A = this chain, B = another copy of it.
Amino acid sequence: MSAVSVPSTQPADSGDQGSVSSVEEIRWLEPGELDAWLSYLAATTLLEAELDRQLQRDSGMPHAYYQILAMLSDVPGRTMRMSDLAAITQSSQSRLSHAVARLERQGWVRRVPCPDDRRSTFAQLTEAGFAALAAAAPGHVRTVRRHLIDRLTPEQVEQLRDIGKAVLAGLGVDLGRTPLPAAVVEAEERRRS
């Protein structure tokens, strides 16, 4: 019953007697699960909104763009293949493409064609981009702390990590060995020689 499990008024009416075919074996959420789900949903929605607002207000960029800059800054050469960047930012290629286009216009990222595989493109963080990230970081981290990390006990932080990893595993993502190495490293070496 309730919200997610569907209309409290269970559809006992919508005659399901006729077709025995797809007999509903649906396991609706139990009260405890429903409570957890709704809490999770509300919390993540509001938290993400808050992060977005803060970054947009103080640094003129949405959270998704911050993540792109951050990931780029964290890699040797501050350069990454578009696909790999999309993967570690949990973004579709299309979305990343649009995003990088915007970041490029803003002068925070530069596109560099990949010489080895001419299908690929590298995205490279510019100095201006790095500066923008460095300026945005303190406020952002403060917000993450204020609304999430500092609200939790150390145990809860660990629990959150485990829950996150469990969900990721279920979605077939590892996150540990995200496709960083390969092309990036090679490109770096090549650049030096």
Interface residues of A (CB under 8 A from B): 2-9, 11, 14, 24, 26-29, 32-33, 35-50, 67, 70-71, 73-74, 90, 130-131, 133-134, 137-138, 140-142, 144-149, 151-152, 156-171, 173, 175
Contact = CB atoms under 8 A, between A and B. Distances in A.
A141 to B, nearest CB: 6
Contacts of A162: 156
A132 B177 CA distance: 41
B141 A5 contact: yes
Contacts of A173: 42, 46
Contacts of A166: 151-152, 156
Contact of A38 (B29, B43, B175): B175
Given A147-B171, A151-B169, 16 more contacts: A4-B70, A6-B73, A8-B74, A11-B134, A28-B141, A29-B141, A33-B157, A39-B160, A43-B164, A43-B167, A46-B90, A46-B171, A47-B171, A147-B170, A151-B170, A159-B163
A164 B11 contact: no
17 contacts: A3-B70, A6-B70, A7-B70, A9-B73, A29-B144, A29-B145, A35-B161, A38-B175, A39-B168, A41-B67, A42-B164, A42-B168, A42-B173, A43-B167, A43-B171, A146-B170, A156-B163
Contact of A167 (B33, B151, B169): B151
Contacts of A151: 166-167, 169-170
